[in-house]
Amino acid sequence: MKKRDLSVIVAGVKFPNPVIAASGTYGFGENYATLYPMNILGGVSCKGLTLEKRDGNIPPRIAETPSGMLNSVGLQNPGIDFFIENHLPYMKEHGNVIIANIAGNTIEDYVEIAQKLDSTNVDMLEVNISCPNVKEGGMAWGVTANGAALVTKSVRAVTNKPIMIKLTPNVADVTEIAKAVEAEGADCVSLINTLLGMRIDIKTRRPILRNNVGGLSGAAVFPVAVRMVWQVANAVKIDVVGMGGISTAEDAVEMMLAGAKAVQIGTVIISDPYSPLKIIGGIEHYMNMNDVKNLTEVIGKVEKW
C-alpha cells in the first residue's frame, strides 16, 4: 500500500494528519502514552482551561445513552498557570499541533487566559464558548451572535496565535454565530460541542447526572454534526474543524466531505483508546482505494442534490 500524505492546513497551521483529539477526552496527552505515542495524532486539544483551577460539578458526571453518552464534568481543570508550567512542555515535546482549549466566566477571563498563552509556544487557541455544563459563562457566550462576537473580538485583540472558536449546536441557526465570529477575526471554527440532554433513573425518579442535565456526545449526534458542519462550511470562508460522534475513518471522511478541513474525535477514544490509530489508518486506506493524493480532493467535496 502506498504511503499517502495526510497533512492538512487549518488556519495556517500544518497538521500531519487531520485527526485531532477533542478537548476533554485526552486530558493533557499523558494518559494514553503507555499505548502509543501522542504524535500519532495530528493534534491534541487539551482539557478546557479556566483562569483559576476548577473542581467541576458534583458526580455522577456521566451517563450511558443509546449510541452515546452524557457528561457534566463542569470544566474541572488545574487552571491556566498550572497548565503552562506543568502540562504544556510535555505536550509540545511529545505531540504535533497543540491546541489550548480555554473557557471563561467573563470577557476579562478569556482575555487574561489568551494573554498568558500568547507568550507560550502553544500552536493554537480553541475558544470554548459552548460548554453546556457550567452555570455562568460557557455556553451563554456561544448562544448569541453578539456574545460570540464579543468573546472573539476580545481574544483577537490580545493574541497573534491562530484562534478557533468552538461552537455550540444548542442554537436556532449556527451559521449566524459562525458568521459573527468570522467577522471579528476568528481564524477557524470547530463544531459541534455537545447537545444538551438528560436521563432519568426510573427507579429513583432522579436524573442520573447530579447536574440534572449534561452534554450528549458519541455516534448518536453524528448526523446532526455533519449537517451543521456542512451548513457552516457553506456560510463562512474561514476553516471549519468538524466533530461530533465521529467513530470510524468512514465518519471522518464523511465529515471532511461535508466541509471539515480536520476532524476532532472524543467519545470514541473513551470507548476505544486505539481508535485514533484505526481512524488515521482508515483514512489512508480510503485515499489508497480512491486514489486520493491529497485530502483537499475530499474536503467540502460533497455534491448536494
Partner 1 sequence: MYKCGAYPVIEKTAISAGIYSYEILCPDVAELAKPGQFVHIKIDGFTLRRPISICEIDHKNGALRIVFEIRGQGTAKLTSLNIGDNLDMIAPLGNGFTIPDEIHPNRRVILVGGGIGVPPLLGIAKVMKESATAILGFRSYDKIILAGDFKRADSHVITCTDDGSVGFKGTVTVKLAEELQKGDVDMVYSCGPEPMLKAVIAECEKSGVPCEVSLEERMGCGVGACYVCSCRISKNNTEFMGRVCKEGPVFNGKEVML
Per CB under 8 A, contacts with partner 1 among 263-302 are 267, 269-274
Q: Which amino acid is at 297?
A: E
Count of residues that interact with partner 1, criterion CB under 8 A = 35
Query: Can you count the helices (H) and strands (E) in the chain?
Result: 10, 16
Q: Give dist(CA 248, CA 25) in Å, integer.
A: 16
* Burial degree of 112 (CB within 10 A; 0-12, 13-18, 19+): middle
212 binds partner 1 (CB under 8 A): no
* Annotation marks residue 131 as catalytic: yes
Does position 26 interact with partner 1 (CB under 8 A)? The reply is yes
Which C-beta is closer to partner 1: that of 188 or that of 279? 279
Contact call for residues 283 and 257 (beta carbons, < 8 A): no
Half-sphere exposure of 165 (CA within 13 A, CB side): 36
Residue closer to partner 1 by CB (options 224, 302) is: 224
Binding partner 1 (rule: CB under 8 A), the pick from 15, 32, 110, 230 is 32
Say which residues have a Cβ less than 8 Å from residue 31's Cβ, sequence separation at least 6.
none
The answer to whether residue 198 forms part of the interface with partner 1 (CB under 8 A) is no
CB 238 within 8 A of CB 182: yes
Q: Are 209 and 156 in contact (CB under 8 A)?
A: no
If one asks whether residue 24 binds partner 1 (CB under 8 A), the answer comes out as yes
- Kindly state the cell numbers that stand for 185: 477575526
What are the residues whose beta carbons fall under 8 Å from the beta carbon of 111, sequence distance 6 or more? Answer: 154, 155, 157, 158
Closest approach, Cβ 58 to partner 1, in A, equals 9
Q: Which of 131, 181, 257, 268 is catalytic?
A: 131
Residue (8 or 225) nearer to partner 1, CB: 225
Q: Which residues in 41-100 contact partner 1 (CB under 8 A)? A: 47, 55-56, 59-65, 67-69, 71, 73, 76-77
Q: Choose the stretch contacting partner 1; rule: CB under 8 A; options: 19-27, 80-88, 125-133, 253-261.
A: 19-27
**Active site members:** 131
Instruction: List residues binding partner 1 (CB under 8 A).
Output: 24-27, 31-32, 34-35, 47, 55-56, 59-65, 67-69, 71, 73, 76-77, 208, 218-219, 267, 269-274
